[in-house]
Amino acid sequence: MTDAPPPLLDVRGLTAAFGRAAPVVRDISFHVAPGEAVGFVGESGSGKSVTARAVLRLAPEGSPLVWGGQILYGGQDLLRLDEHAMRGIRGRRIAMVFQDPMSSLNPVMTVGAQIDDMLMQHMGLSRRAARRRTVDLLGLVGIRDPAMRADDHPHQFSGGMRQRVLIAIAVSCEPDLLIADEPTTALDVTVQAQILRLLMRLRRELGMALMLISHDFGVIAGMVERVHVMQGGEIVETGDVDALFAAPRHPYTRALLDAVPRLDARR
Amino acid sequence: MSAPLLRVRDLCVSFPARRGRAPVRAVDQVSFDIAPGQTLGLVGESGSGKTTTGRAILQLQAASSGSVQLLGRELTAMSGRDLRAMRRHMQFVLQNPYSSLHPRMTVANTLAEPLAVHRSVPRHAIPERVAELMTLVGMDPAVVNRYPHEFSGGQRQRIVIARALAVNPDFVVCDEPVSALDVRTQAQIVDLLQHLQARLGLSYLFIAHDLAVVRAVAHRVAVMYGGRIVELGNAAQVYENPAHPYTRNLLDAVPVVDPARQRALLAEAAADPDFRGREGEPGPCVFGTDHAATATAHWHDIAPGHGVSCRFWPPGAAPDSR
- CB contact (8 A) between residue A190 and residue B249: yes
For residue B227, pLDDT beyond 60: yes
By Cβ distance, the residue of A191, A194, A245 closest to B257 is A245
Contact flag A267-B216 (C-beta cutoff 8 Å): yes
The average pLDDT across B54-73 equals: 96
Q: State the DSSP string of B35-51.
A: -TT-EEEEE--TTSSHH
For residue B68, what pLDDT band results from cuts at 50, 70 and 90? very high
CA–CA gap between residue B91 and residue B204 (Å, rounded): 10
- pLDDT-based confidence at residue B69 (cuts at 50, 70, 90): very high
Spell out which residues of chain A touch residue B153, defining contact as CB-CB under 8 Å: 44
Strands A234-240 and A65-73: unpaired
Mean pLDDT of chain B: 87
Percent of chain B with pLDDT over 70: 87
Q: Is A247 on the interface with B (CB under 8 A)?
A: no
Please name the residues between 57 and 116 in chain B that touch chain A, using a CB distance below 8 Å. Answer: none
B186–A contact, CB cutoff 8 A:
yes
From the CB of residue A129, how many other CB atoms can be counted at a distance below 10 Å? 14
B275 and A CB contact within 8 Å: yes
Nearest 5 degrees, angle CA A37-CA A41-CA A45? 135
**pTM to 2 decimal places:** 0.86
Residue A220 in contact with residue A214, Cβ under 8 Å? yes
Work out whether strand B306-309 and strand B299-303 pair parallel, antiparallel, or are unpaired.
antiparallel
Strand order in the sheet with B6-15: B24-34, B6-15, B65-70, B73-74
What does the alpha-carbon distance between residue B164 and residue B200 come to, in Å, rounded to a whole number?
A: 13
Q: Please indicate if any CB of chain B lies within 8 Å of the CB of A33.
A: no
Residues of B in contact with A218 (CB under 8 A): 254-257, 262
How confident is residue B288, by pLDDT bands cut at 50, 70 and 90?
A: very low
DSSP A166-213: HHHHHHTT--SEEEEESTTTTS-HHHHHHHHHHHHHHHHHHT-EEEEE
Q: What is the pLDDT of residue B287?
A: 44
Q: Is B100 or B70 the better-scoring residue by pLDDT?
A: B70
User: Which among B209, B252, B265 is the nearest to A188, CB-wise?
Assistant: B209
**The pLDDT of residue B279:** 35
Is some CB atom of chain A closer than 8 A to the CB atom of B152? yes
Is pLDDT of B286 > 60? no
CB nearest B279 (choices: A44, A158, A193): A158
Residue B281 to residue B283: CA distance in whole angstroms:
6
Q: In chain A, which stretches have pLDDT less than 50?
A: 1, 266-267
Pairing state between β B171-175 and B203-208: parallel
Interface residue B187 vs chain A (CB under 8 A): yes
Quick one: closest CA in B to A204, which residue?
Answer: B267
The answer to whether A30 and A38 are in contact (CB under 8 A) is: yes
For the stretch B3-30, pLDDT in tens is: 899 999 999 999 887 777 888 889 999 9
B266 vs A189, A197, A265: nearest CB: A197
Output the CA angle B284-B285-B287, nearest 5 degrees: 120
Per-residue CA distances from B173 to A131, B137, B208 (Å):
47, 17, 11
**Is A259 in contact with B45 (Cβ distance < 8 A)?**
no
B220-225 and B228-234 beta bridge pairing: antiparallel
Is the pLDDT at B36 greater than 80? The verdict is: yes
How far apart are alpha carbons A28 and A233 in whole angstroms?
Answer: 8
Contact (CB<8Å) A192/B253: yes
How many other C-beta atoms can be found within 10 angstroms of the C-beta atom of residue A225?
A: 15
Which residue of A188, A222, A256 is in closest CB contact with B259?
Answer: A222
Give the distance from residue A222's alpha carbon to the nearest chain B alpha carbon, in angstroms.
4
Query: Inter-chain contact B183–A158, Cβ cutoff 8 Å?
Result: no
Q: Which residues contact B192 (CB under 8 A, 6 or more apart)?
A: B137, B138, B158, B161
DSSP lists the bridge partners of residue B259 as none
Q: Is the dihedral of CA B185, B190, B196, B202 positive or negative?
A: positive
Q: Inspect the interface and report whether the beta carbons of A193 and B152 lie closer than 8 Å.
A: no
Q: How confident is the model at residue B322 (pLDDT cuts 50, 70, 90)?
A: very low
**pLDDT at site B270:** 55
Searching chain B, which residue's CA lies closest to the CA of residue A187? B46
Task: Please give the Cα distance from A116 to A150 (Å, whole number).
Answer: 10
**What's the whole-number mean pLDDT along residues B166-186?**
93
Backbone angles phi, psi at B281, to 5 degrees: -115, 145
3-state secondary structure of A85: helix
Amino acid B290: pLDDT: 43
Whether the ipTM is more than 0.90: the answer is no
Question: What's the mean pLDDT in B44-66?
Answer: 93
Domains of chain A, earliest start first: 9-258 (3.40.50.300)
Instruction: State which residue of chain A sits closest to B184, comparing Cα positions.
Output: A259
Q: Give which of B262, B276, B281, B286 to mutate to test A binding, by max A Cβ within 10 Å.
A: B262
B236 at A interface, C-beta within 8 A: no
Is A179 in CB contact (< 8 Å) with chain B? Answer: no
Peptide bond into B314 cis (omega under 30): yes
Option in A43, A191, A197 nearest B184 (CB) = A43
B266 to A241: CB separation less than 8 angstroms, yes or no:
no
CA distance B179 to chain A (A): 8
Interface test with B, best of A226, A263, A264 (most B CBs within 10 A): A263
Cβ-Cβ contacts under 8 Å between A and B: the total is 122
